[in-house]
């Protein structure tokens, strides 16, 4: 068989890892794919740095359009990032009849509908296993292993950087800024790390998971997204003292006529399977009506960890490029004509229990006022801990029974107006995933 000729856009953390793994494991990879894989050309900004990685055998360019227009390339690997130039390049590659492998979840969450439609019209593959929970073959699991199921929900920890930061802050007592810097130094973080810590990256991935799980488009801009930037070490410690861990969770759930898609920090009981997922690791749980709950665990970021998924996609391209496009696995698990457009369920209607940390005078009168205020909005709550501050106030840690988000928000406004309450009330959902 002739080699699969690859052009790579980018040779950074993921691109260089792909180069190394492909070079190191070429023999096993060819034994599986049936075709040699040859990186023919690479587009970067810094040619000298790239030359040090790939040596003299590969054509290098600083013009990425030059690369996607080359006639001697079968597949373009987009590991450059961003959504503007990357979108143009991917669409141009597709228009040129090239298959695309990408690790770019932002691109697909925001422009997936356009890109998949263009690929389908041109009969080429757009593969993106590396875009979600890198080393975990979760797209393959949803598209192939679980196809018999009506999937009720998919949930998990899908951002390695924020999980790494929470773990460092919690168990090692390392400060937020140092933990983030460490994640950046290890190549886990996005070029703009706000995507990681504000929950955006997790929301991008959740859109792709939900589309594959439920067969519906998910409008990224409407996904409820909260990150970890408001959490403090005291929250992690209070949660721990109550028998919980705090994780940044993505949850997508199917309802009869809508889908619920949300990213936010959540308390999970310490014995929950996801609570023990630490560092830059990721884990995804999927509940199917026939399979029951299945769990997938693995590295959530990193150079060769992501390369593992990029190359898996390249092998899929090598195996199925010659097939009739209608016989390939659909881009988002469901045939495109069967994709629905279900609305997102308003967050105000979602229900969960809550952890509240309220800084308030440590007097019985003040505490009664807290609980009375919560009760006025239908929140059954109990004070589980009081952590004294030097000024005679205390962090009051409250857990509530499940309540609609709309009621919780109204209660928070009233709580923060009580004379005994200082500053903002910290509120984090308690998730059971039942
Ligand atoms: P890096 O910043 O490490 O690498 C980006 C690469 O793209 C660099 O080689 C850079 O060139 C090149 N590049 C950027 N802009 C241009 C341009 N205009 N023209 C030519 N080359 C360009 O990013 P990562 O490897 O970390 O991430 C790449 C993609 O993979 C992103 O979409 C990211 O979200 C995704 N991803 C990252 C993971 C990770 O763990 N890091 C995991 C999963 C997905 P130069 O080297 O010359 O600067
Ligand atoms: N920045 C991402 C993360 C990379 O930390 O999860 C993997 O997608």
Look at residue 44 in the predicted model and tell me its pLDDT: 98
User: Which atom from ligand 1 is nearest to the alpha carbon of 303?
Assistant: 40
Do 353 and 314 reside in the same domain of the chain? no
User: Which atom from ligand 2 is nearest to the alpha carbon of 162?
Assistant: 5
Residue nearest to ligand 1 atom 48, measured at CA: 45
Do 321 and 374 reside in the same domain of the chain? no
Look at residue 393 in the predicted model and tell me its pLDDT: 87
Do 309 and 267 reside in the same domain of the chain? no
Do 147 and 294 reside in the same domain of the chain? yes
Look at residue 59 in the predicted model and tell me its pLDDT: 98
- Cβ proximity of 227 and 134 under 8 Å: no
Look at residue 234 in the predicted model and tell me its pLDDT: 93
Look at residue 152 in the predicted model and tell me its pLDDT: 98
Do 144 and 281 reside in the same domain of the chain? yes
Do 246 and 382 reside in the same domain of the chain? no
Look at residue 57 in the predicted model and tell me its pLDDT: 87
In a domain, 11, yes or no: yes
Look at residue 385 in the predicted model and tell me its pLDDT: 87
d(CA 12, ligand 1 centre) in Å = 5
Can you list the pairs that 424-428 forms with residues at least 24 positions away whose Cβ atoms lie under 8 Å? Answer: 425/356, 425/357, 425/358, 426/230, 426/231, 426/232, 426/235, 426/356, 426/357, 426/358, 427/354, 427/355, 427/356, 428/231, 428/235, 428/239, 428/246, 428/264, 428/265, 428/266, 428/267, 428/354, 428/355
User: Which atom from ligand 1 is nearest to the alpha carbon of 46?
Assistant: 47
Look at residue 173 in the predicted model and tell me its pLDDT: 87
Q: Which among 283, 318, 338 is the end of a domain?
A: 338
Decide whether any atom of ligand 2 lies within 6 Å of the 300 Cβ: yes
Determine the Cα angle at 205 with ends 202 and 211, to 5°.
Answer: 135
Q: How far is CA 16 from CA 90, 101, 215, 259, 329, in A?
A: 20, 15, 34, 38, 28
Taking 70 as the pLDDT cut, the residues of the chain under it are none
Decide whether any atom of ligand 2 lies within 6 Å of the 198 Cβ: no
Do 157 and 289 reside in the same domain of the chain? yes
Look at residue 190 in the predicted model and tell me its pLDDT: 98
What residues line ligand 1, using a CB cutoff of 6 Å?
10-15, 43-46, 49, 64, 79-81, 85, 103-104, 130, 134, 187-188, 190-191, 301-302, 306
Do 294 and 155 reside in the same domain of the chain? yes
In a domain, 343, yes or no: no
Do 233 and 281 reside in the same domain of the chain? yes
The response to whether 11 counts as a known ligand-binding position is yes
Range of the domain at 169: 138-300
Give the predicted TM-score (pTM) of the model. Answer: 0.97
Task: Supply the CATH number for residue 72's domain.
Answer: 3.40.50.720
DSSP 243-257: TEEEEEEEEEEE-SS
Structural domains counted in the chain: 3
Q: Which ligand is nearest to the CA of 45?
A: 1
**Which residues are annotated as catalytic?**
205
Question: Strand 37-43 and strand 59-61: pairing?
Answer: parallel
Q: Tell me: the pLDDT tens digits for 192-232?
A: 999 999 999 999 999 999 999 999 999 999 999 999 999 99
Look at residue 434 in the predicted model and tell me its pLDDT: 81
Decide whether any atom of ligand 2 lies within 6 Å of the 131 Cβ: no
Do 295 and 153 reside in the same domain of the chain? yes
């Amino acid at each position: 068989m002739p080699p699969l000729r690859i052009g790579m856009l980018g040779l950074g953390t993921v691109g260089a890892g792909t180069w190394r793994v492909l070079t190191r494991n070429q023999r096993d990879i060819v034994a599986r794919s049936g075709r040699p894989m040859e990186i023919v050309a690479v587009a970067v900004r810094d040619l000298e740095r790239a030359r040090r990685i790939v040596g003299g055998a590969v054509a290098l360019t600083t013009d990425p359009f030059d690369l996607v227009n080359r006639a001697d390339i079968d597949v373009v690997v987009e590991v450059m990032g961003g959504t503007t130039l990357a979108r143009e390049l991917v669409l141009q590659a597709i228009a040129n009849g090239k298959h695309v492998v990408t690790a770019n979840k932002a691109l697909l969450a925001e422009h997936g509908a356009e890109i998949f439609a263009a690929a389908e019209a041109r009969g080429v593959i757009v593969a993106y296993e590396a875009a979600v929970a890198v080393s975990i073959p979760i797209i393959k699991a949803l598209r192939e292993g679980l196809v018999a199921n009506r999937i009720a929900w998919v949930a998990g920890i899908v951002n390695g950087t924020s999980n790494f930061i929470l773990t460092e802050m919690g168990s090692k007592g390392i400060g937020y800024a140092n933990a983030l810097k460490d994640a950046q130094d290890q190549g886990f973080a996005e070029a703009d790390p706000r995507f990681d810590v504000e929950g955006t990256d997790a929301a991008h991935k959740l859109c792709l998971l939900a589309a594959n799980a439920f067969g519906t488009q998910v409008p990224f801009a409407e996904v409820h997204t909260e990150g970890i930037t408001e959490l403090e070490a005291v929250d992690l410690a209070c949660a721990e003292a109550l028998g919980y861990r705090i994780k940044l969770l993505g949850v997508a759930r199917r309802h009869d006529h809508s889908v619920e898609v949300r990213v936010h920090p959540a308390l999970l009981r310490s014995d929950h399977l996801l609570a023990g997922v630490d560092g830059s690791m990721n884990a995804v749980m999927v509940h199917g009506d026939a399979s029951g709950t299945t769990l997938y665990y693995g590295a959530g970021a990193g150079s060769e960890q992501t390369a593992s998924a990029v190359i898996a996609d390249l092998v899929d391209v090598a195996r199925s490029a010659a097939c009739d496009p209608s016989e390939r696995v659909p881009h988002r698990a469901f045939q495109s004509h069967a994709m629905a457009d279900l609305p997102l369920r308003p967050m105000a209607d979602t229900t969960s229990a809550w952890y509240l940390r309220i800084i308030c005078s440590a007097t019985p009168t003040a505490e009664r006022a807290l609980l009375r205020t919560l009760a006025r909005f239908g929140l059954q709550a109990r004070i589980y801990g009081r952590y004294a501050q030097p000024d005679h106030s205390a962090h009051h840690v409250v857990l509530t029974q499940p309540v609609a988000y709309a009621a919780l928000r109204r209660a928070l406004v009233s709580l923060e107006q009580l004379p005994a309450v200082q500053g903002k009330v910290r509120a984090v959902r308690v998730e059971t995933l039942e």
